[in-house]
Amino acid sequence: MKISDTKNKIPSLMPYAAWIAKMYGHPYRNGMMVGKNLIALAIRQLYGYKDDEKFADFLWESGIAKVLGYKRKPHPSLFSKTRKNAETGAIITLYNELVKEKCKGRRLKLVGADSTDMPAFFINKDKEARLGHRTKKKKEQNLDDMVGKDKKEKAFVFGYKLHLVQDAETGLPLTGVIRSAETHDSQPFYELFPYVTENFQIQLDAKFLGDSAYDSADIRNRIRDKQMKDVIAVNGRGHYKSETPKDPDYGKRWSLEQSNSVLEMVYNLATSRMMGLKRIAVHAFSCLLANFIEHFMD
């Protein structure tokens, strides 16, 4: 993303960031002092910086720091303190409010859910990380198929997962939650789905897209209770296959997988050096906010 584009978008972000900062107990200068730091966390991911000192140099030399309101080059320790303060949920709320504002006046037609891995970096020190199953990516499955392995065989991840619910038409993540990797993909549905139906307008003929992890009678009934169609892959568990042809919109789940790939490869979602559920959540939503700034802000 061009630096000039980032500078042009910052003034639109600042009122939201300041409002959230005040909401979380930081009223100094009308919330601007802390609000700008939350935006800085997203800009760090936007430009792929992993070192706070180098990022501080970049902010100052590029002129972005002045647009944010810094009068001098920020000290690198400021970003570590901001991540610590953001563990209360400030950056999550900031992202959610920006997305709700973006979707005002629009009715969602295709809503999808998926998860992506966030491996633990400090395997022996991270006490909240857990071992869990994961579905292999298409490239991994194709490679297994070429060498004669079972491409449906599960792989493992030690760490966390980011569970997202998205607008499958645009690829915009509507919100998300972080859970340890042992959590089954279907469990966050009970938090994410009600959030979407309560905070966004849904078309009467809308569809919920999900893979076989969401194939349960309870989940299907909850979707139908909201007058939505459940477009979910059947979990055959090795015993049966669906006799019903797939809905033509099921293939649009690719937008969810594409969004996950962007978060991982462009914004370094999967290479966090944070420990603990709350700090990992700050990193994940910094990546989501970076993605929002680049692709979904006017």
Domain boundaries defined on the chain? 3-88, 106-274
Predicted local confidence at residue 269, as pLDDT: 97
Say whether 215 sits in a helix, a strand or coil: coil
pLDDT band, very low/low/confident/very high, at 110 (cuts 50, 70, 90): very high
pLDDT in tens, 32-88: 999 999 999 999 999 999 999 999 999 999 999 999 999 999 999 999 999 999 999
Predicted local confidence at residue 48, as pLDDT: 96
- For the chain, the average pLDDT equals 92
Residue 239 has pLDDT above 60, yes or no: no
pLDDT band, very low/low/confident/very high, at 145 (cuts 50, 70, 90): low
Distance between CA 9 and CA 15 in Å, rounded?
12
Residue with structure tokens 């980011």?
162
pLDDT band, very low/low/confident/very high, at 134 (cuts 50, 70, 90): confident
203-207, 270-274, 287-291: range with highest mean pLDDT: 287-291
pLDDT band, very low/low/confident/very high, at 244 (cuts 50, 70, 90): low
- Stronger pLDDT, 236 or 145, i.e. the higher one: 145
Average pLDDT over residues 232-243: 61
Distance between CA 269 and CA 273 in Å, rounded?
10
Distance between CA 146 and CA 154 in Å, rounded?
17
The fold of the 106-274 domain, in CATH, is Nucleotidyltransferase; domain 5 (3.30.420)
Distance between CA 108 and CA 191 in Å, rounded?
18
Percent of the chain at pLDDT > 90 equals: 80
Residue 176 has pLDDT above 90, yes or no: yes
Predicted local confidence at residue 235, as pLDDT: 72
Residue 139 has pLDDT above 90, yes or no: no
pLDDT in tens, 148-158: 676 567 788 99
CA atoms within 13 A on the CB side of 116: 22
pLDDT band, very low/low/confident/very high, at 238 (cuts 50, 70, 90): very low
> 100: part of which helix (H) or strand (E)?
helix 90-102
Q: Per DSSP, what are the bridge partners of residue 230?
A: 208
CA atoms within 13 A on the CB side of 204: 0
